[in-house]
Structure 1
Amino acid sequence: MSKGPVSQFIEKNYLHFNAAALVDAAKGYELHLAEGGKMLVSLAGAMSTAELGISLAEMIRQDKIAFISCTGANLEEDVMNLVAHSHYKRIPNYRDLTPQDEWDLLENHYNRVTDTCIPEEEAFRRLQSHLEKAWKDAEAKGERYFPHEYLYSIILSGALEPHYEIDPKNSWMIAAAEKNLPIVCPGWEDSTSGNIFTSYVIKGELKASTVKSGIEYMVFLTEWYRANSGGKGVGFFQIGGGIAGDFPICVVPMMYQDLEWHDVPFWAYFCQISDSTTSYGSYSGAVPNEKITWGKLDTTSPKYIIESDATIVAPLVFAYVLNQ
């Protein structure tokens, strides 16, 4: 398929430094898929609030992504944006806010993420009633599910459709639910939904076991990786750092070192978009070669690092892979 105008612009202008790294990584991603490989994408930070779903959803629909690892914030914030977009508040001068300005936002039920304020009442509470019902219905039946599976069930039930405030094609969670895309959401407990669930557990209204745990997520990922790492293998496209990236990438050394399964392939491609300062003492800032010493990447695995803002870079890489 011929490349569209965005891809042509990238190829013509992005010739050096981080720009060239972006092109190399995108071409490597494209080649990995063309040779039959699969790709895991990890989402750190607040990429859903940055509306990455506009490009990420199409990547999912076109089978350019086989697995997602994301924070609890990214899992829920795509759905929050879906049902409460018109209530979000943008603050272009966020760098100038005083502590009192921040307090005033809190008093008005706005939670700020950089220049964007999530409306607590419209976003969190609109979703909460559906989550509470899903959790309690499952527990009444003696059933247990992962955090993303509860959201999938709510989305696919159509219960949120009357509240949609964006084009549903721009929600990556809708695209993922429709594909039943496998997801791991490590550290889900620190998200708003996780906090709400914890409050129900403390009040004795739900059992902690009704939501499957992080250990069960690791077992789930292990089973998926074993079933999907043949042939060209599985690549790893990491947006940001933190637990969303560290959790899934560790599945390979865990199988090799702890389970002593010595037939486990390394990750077959690696790219990280990060504006973290390069540092061997920082997970987010470590260069890819450091991962060789941890049994995550092979010496021959294609490795890329794009030291830039993921809100700018990730949509461009996705556009290139989508021939846009």
Structure 2
Amino acid sequence: MEITNFLKHHYRHFNAAALIDAAEAYKSHLDNNGKMMVTLAGAMSTAELGISLAEMIRQDKVQIITCTGANLEEDVFNLVAHDFYERIPQYRELSPEQEQDLLNRHMNRVTDTCIPEMEAMRRIEDVILEEWQQADKAGEQYFPHEFFYKILLSGKLEKDYQIDPKNSWLMEAAKKNIPIIVPGWEDSTLGNMYAGHCISGDIRDVHTVRGGIQYMIYLADWYTENAREESKVGFFQIGGGIAGDFPICVVPMLHQDLQREGIPLWGYFCQISDSTTSYGSYSGAVPNEKITWGKLGLETPKFIIESDATIVAPLVFAIVLGQ
């Protein structure tokens, strides 16, 4: 437990102490038969959070995931095209002309990391388009994550792996068939590609890939089945935006819109965010505000770590994993 011991010795105050408290409460939540949802915003897959998140999944520290379409696909991009990525440490100093040069070379920049379009995005498109078209012809519909599960478990991409697949969180999720919620999948590279194929007529039924309302129904059923007073579901939110906003609303929907009884509130809440608390900033809203929306209760353990998730999340995971 070298990492845990180091953190507990040095991380004693302010955001550092909040990290320790949140991690220990995460462990307690699981020890009390709780389940945990992890939500991924931003570009955490390109930041290679999979190295630690995959291990969390393997050790049953995560039972359900919500993520953006970008995080869903970028974990697979990294799996098959890692060697073609380019890192640009001086990204803050790039001129507009240098940015244009990256575009001309089909290198799409995410902060200091450039994703290679041809080796990553187009390689995945060829494989997943085949799955989309097969489902379309058969009149079948699947969620975005289910299409990824199909191609990962089929082994079709195995020859192209450029990292150890044990560091792909989506691969580990596929092996365990963990439910994944992907709100706003349309706002992703493959979502754009899918729209293009629908427009061009390669796919006849736009609903071949199931969407957001169906995801909310899916989540409502999962939460109703899994959340119990003796086994509550926790909410570990990395970043802000739709990855957190969408799933947390399932609880007030079940209570207020469906009038379901006996459904507990979220049993744990932690958000890692560098968004400051401000007017109109949901991502920067303190956890107590969620009490007024019927999402969290008076007794819910609540934490906010105001820091960079690429630094903080792996450290929290290390404590939960006993490393």
TM-score category of the 2 structures, normalised to the smaller one: over 0.9
Residues 1-324 of structure 1 correspond to what in structure 2 (within 5 A)? 4-206=1-203, 207-230=205-228, 231-324=230-323
**Stretches of 4+ moved more than 3 A in 1?**
none
Q: Deviations over 1:182-203 (max 9, x none)?
A: 0000000010010000001111
Q: Deviations over 1:36-90 (max 9, x none)?
A: 0000000000000000000000000111000000000000000000000000000
Q: Deviations over 1:216-244 (max 9, x none)?
A: 00000000001110123000000000000
Q: Deviations over 1:147-193 (max 9, x none)?
A: 00000000000000000000111000110000001000000001001
- TM-score, reference length from structure 1: 0.98
What is the DSSP-based 3-state SS (H/G/I as helix, E as strand, rest coil) of the residue aligned with 1:117? strand
CA contact (8 A) 1:279 1:287 kept: no
Identify if the C-alpha distance between structure 1 residues 182 and 84 changes in structure 2 by more than 3 Å, giving closer, same or farther: same
What is the DSSP-based 3-state SS (H/G/I as helix, E as strand, rest coil) of the residue aligned with 2:89? coil
Kindly state the Cα deviation for residue 279 of structure 1 after the two structures are TM-superposed.
Answer: 2.1
Quick one: which amino acid aligns to residue 272 of structure 1? Q
What is the DSSP-based 3-state SS (H/G/I as helix, E as strand, rest coil) of the residue aligned with 1:64? coil
Structure 2 residue runs of 5 or longer lacking an equivalent are none
State the aligned residue count.
321
Kindly state the Cα deviation for residue 260 of structure 1 after the two structures are TM-superposed.
Answer: 1.4
Kindly state the Cα deviation for residue 205 of structure 1 after the two structures are TM-superposed.
Answer: 1.7
- Using the alignment, how far apart are the partners of 1:280 and 1:20 within structure 2? 26
- TM-score, reference length from structure 2: 0.98
Q: Deviations over 1:73-132 (max 9, x none)?
A: 000000000000000000000000111111110000000000000000000011011110
- Using the alignment, how far apart are the partners of 1:260 and 1:273 within structure 2? 31
What is the DSSP-based 3-state SS (H/G/I as helix, E as strand, rest coil) of the residue aligned with 2:82? helix
* Percent identity between the two aligned chains: 65
Kindly state the Cα deviation for residue 261 of structure 1 after the two structures are TM-superposed.
Answer: 1.5
- Using the alignment, how far apart are the partners of 2:15 and 2:36 within structure 1? 22
- Using the alignment, how far apart are the partners of 1:36 and 1:112 within structure 2? 41
CA contact (8 A) 1:40 1:235 kept: yes
Kindly state the Cα deviation for residue 280 of structure 1 after the two structures are TM-superposed.
Answer: 4.6
- Using the alignment, how far apart are the partners of 1:232 and 1:304 within structure 2? 20
Kindly state the Cα deviation for residue 141 of structure 1 after the two structures are TM-superposed.
Answer: 1.3
Kindly state the Cα deviation for residue 263 of structure 1 after the two structures are TM-superposed.
Answer: 2.2
What is the DSSP-based 3-state SS (H/G/I as helix, E as strand, rest coil) of the residue aligned with 1:26? helix
Structure 1 residue runs of 5 or longer lacking an equivalent are none
